[in-house]
Homo-oligomer: A and B are copies of this chain.
Amino acid sequence: MYIPDLDDMLATHARIRPHINRTPVFSSRMLDEMSGAQLFFKCENLQKAGAFKARGASNAVFGLTDAQAARGVATHSSGNHGTCLSYAAGRRGIPCTVVMPRTAPQAKKDAVIGYGGRVVECEPSTSSREAVFAEVVAETGQEFVHPYNDHRVIAGQGTCSKELLEQVEGLDAVIAPIGGGGMVSGTCLTLSNLAPKVEIYAAEPEQADDAYRSFKAGHIIADDAPETVADGLKVPLKELTWHFVSTCVTDILTASEQEIVDAMKLIWKRMKLVMEPSSAVPLATILKNPDVFAGKRVGVVITGGNVDLDRLPWMNT
């Protein structure tokens, strides 16, 4: 298991800079008043392909040798990683295959195809996904880029908090949502090296709190099939992300489904930003834990903006 270090992250930022946005940081007087903290929202919903995952995916793609690149990349994902890998592969002009359950929303398949990638469907089960994916790799020789348990991906996500440190002075804490832990691991990598006094919080839905329980237990606990509106956060930690989470994270905080939807709507309404339910989990936990954040300058990662506008969570409530 190779653990990426500061030099990897710095080389990554130089490599991917032409292919990603240096996303802006926004604040809101009203949300500062509500939270009692100073919040600096790092807007990765305005990232290429609509999510921070363009960082890690670009690093993996642009780090390939020419021979590897000629064969292309492959992954399994029904979320932003598949879209972002397709985006990055398209930028380099190389093939990309994304294995997705046939039941995944058509919009997600279209997003991969829109950037030039190929979608291969599997049945909605782990065994089918693994079998189909093995077939794809055997046929194509494509390089597997895991959504988060990959040192190239983690180094890529770490460039987000490097920018945040450059954009905001005197941060006391950074908080990001946690699913598989790719963004949080990248944040740990960067902050532990460049700003070791900055606290690192991870925010997780109560209904998919495997990272929280892992953190408290001291070993990985994987949920079977968690259900949450924050659908980007259902996946479990793996050994590489567990390394960072278990050694660098200050604490993991959780929020209920209603708290997540309320925080999402609050950001849409007050900050005029379209972002995913997953991206609202940090604000939900901040508002729930004022004692933790009072008076602090807090970087908040808005992880992505790829949401189905016809199925907003408050349409059903």
Q: Which residues of A come within 8 Å of B, CB atoms?
A: 24, 26, 45-46, 50, 265, 268-269, 271-275, 305, 309-310, 312, 314-315
Contact = CB atoms under 8 A, between A and B. Distances in A.
10 contacts: A50-B272, A272-B273, A272-B274, A272-B275, A272-B305, A273-B273, A309-B312, A310-B314, A312-B312, A315-B315
Contacts of A50: 272
Contacts of A24: 24
A309 B45 CA distance: 19
Contacts of A310: 314
A24 B26 CA distance: 10
Contact of A272 (B45, B269, B314): B45
Contacts of A312: 309, 312
A272 B46 contact: yes
A309 B275 contact: no
A243 B46 CA distance: 39
Nearest to A264: B309
A269 B46 contact: no
A46 B41 CA distance: 14
Contacts of A315: 315
Contacts of A272: 45-46, 50, 273-275, 305
A305 B270 CA distance: 9
A269 B45 contact: no
A7 B45 CA distance: 40
A242 to B, nearest CB: 31
Nearest to A44: B272
A268 B314 contact: no
A31 B53 CA distance: 22
Contact of A46 (B26, B268, B275, B305): B26
A309 B261 CA distance: 12
Nearest to A24: B24
Given A24-B24, A50-B272, A309-B312, 8 more contacts: A45-B272, A268-B309, A269-B274, A272-B273, A272-B305, A274-B274, A309-B314, A310-B314
Contacts of A309: 265, 268-269, 312, 314
Nearest to A302: B272
A144 to B, nearest CB: 28
Contacts of A274: 268-269, 272-274
A309 to B, nearest CB: 6
Contacts of A269: 274, 309
A300 to B, nearest CB: 16
A310 B26 CA distance: 24
Contacts of A314: 309-310
